[in-house]
Amino acid sequence: MNKFKQLMVLSFAGYIILSSLPARAETLVTDLSQHVIEITSQFSGSELLLFGAIERHATESIQSDEISVQGLDYDIIVVVQSDPTDLVIRKKEHIAGIWINKENQTLKNVPGYYVIGSTRPLDEFLSKEVQVEWGLGLNNLTITNENGDEIVEFKQALIRNMINKGLYQEASGNVIVKDEILFRASLAFPSNMPVGNYKADVYLVRDGNIIINHRTDLLVDKRGIERFIYNFAHEYPPYYGMMAIFVAISIGLFTGFVAKKIT
């Protein structure tokens, strides 16, 4: 019983000591300049501003006073990506003077749009293990085939193609922090961006650790006649195909008729 009492006393004393120490915490507030990007016939791309603020404070549990904390070094990572989908990748080979499809793979969980930016290069403030754990960076995207295997060759080819289309971007130094409190990042969306639900994640990093992750939703959607055509093509693909053929034939016949009249 004496030993039990001693343990109780030591535990209580330890609790008192720890609770008397200042507990530091951070609060991250983020938002987007717009939460819906509308794609119309005149859409040629868009630019989005992601901004926010870091609130840093320490609390003395005894006095219950909030104390401002200065001089702490933070890094910020911004990731914007669309919902993942499945994508078929075909490998071509040059045989007898022509290119033919030799092999294909269905890749799972492929984001149609992925952009990552940071205050400085990730390797300068975040270990490789943490980057892989959180899936930060193009090379750390988890993209596998139907069997759950990651095929490096197809994954690298996919990333190259997406970069060429402007749908995948990776940069550093494009997240600007002002007065160690406010931050902003300008993001470019090309005209060929896929429609759907997007998510914008902001990661606050201190001492090589991600301490806060804040997410904001973004919607990219078609509007007007483009929305009607998009819905019709996805909901009734056979009718859409027949209509497309009918329109193409009608245009061809009309063009031929006009050409004969002119000549």
Which pLDDT belongs to residue 55?
81
Q: Are residues 89 and 143 in the same domain?
A: yes
State pLDDT tens for residues 229-258: 555 555 656 655 666 676 677 776 667 656
Based on its alpha-carbon atoms, the radius of gyration of the chain, rounded to whole angstroms, reads: 27
Q: Which of 79, 100, 76 is nearest to 90 (CA)?
A: 100
Q: Are residues 214 and 244 in the same domain?
A: no
Q: Are residues 29 and 85 in the same domain?
A: yes
Cβ(74)–Cβ(54) under 8 Å? Answer: yes
DSSP sequence for 94-150: EETTEEEEEEEEEEEEEES-EEEEESS-GGGTS-HHHHHHHT-SGGG---B-TTS--
Q: Are residues 153 and 69 in the same domain?
A: yes
The parts of the chain modelled with pLDDT lower than 50 are 1, 3-4, 7-23, 59-71, 228
Which amino acid is present at 71?
G
Q: Are residues 198 and 262 in the same domain?
A: no
Let me know if residue 191 belongs to a domain.
yes
How many Å apart are CA 117 and CA 77, to the nearest integer?
6
Torsion sign, CA atoms 56, 61, 65, 71: negative
Let me know if residue 238 belongs to a domain.
yes
Number of folded domains in the chain? 2
| Residue 122 CB burial class (10 angstroms; 0-12, 13-18, ≥19) | buried
Which pLDDT belongs to residue 256?
65
Which pLDDT belongs to residue 203?
95
Q: Which of 187, 226, 239 is nearest to 43 (CA)?
A: 226
Q: Are residues 101 and 63 in the same domain?
A: yes
Which pLDDT belongs to residue 19?
43
Cβ(49)–Cβ(184) under 8 Å? Answer: yes
What is the span of the domain harbouring residue 253? 224-263
User: How far is CA 223 from its chain centroid?
Assistant: 23
How many Å apart are CA 55 and CA 204, to the nearest integer?
11
Q: Which of 64, 24, 32, 69 is nearest to 211 (CA)?
A: 24
Which amino acid is present at 243?
M
| CA distances for 102 relative to 28, 89, 92, 235, angstroms | 49, 11, 6, 32
Q: In the numeric block, which tokens belong to residue 164?
A: 């060429």
Q: Are residues 140 and 167 in the same domain?
A: yes
Let me know if residue 175 belongs to a domain.
yes
Which pLDDT belongs to residue 243?
65
How many Å apart are CA 28 and CA 50, to the nearest integer?
13
State pLDDT tens for residues 86-127: 888 777 666 666 666 667 788 888 999 999 999 999 999 999
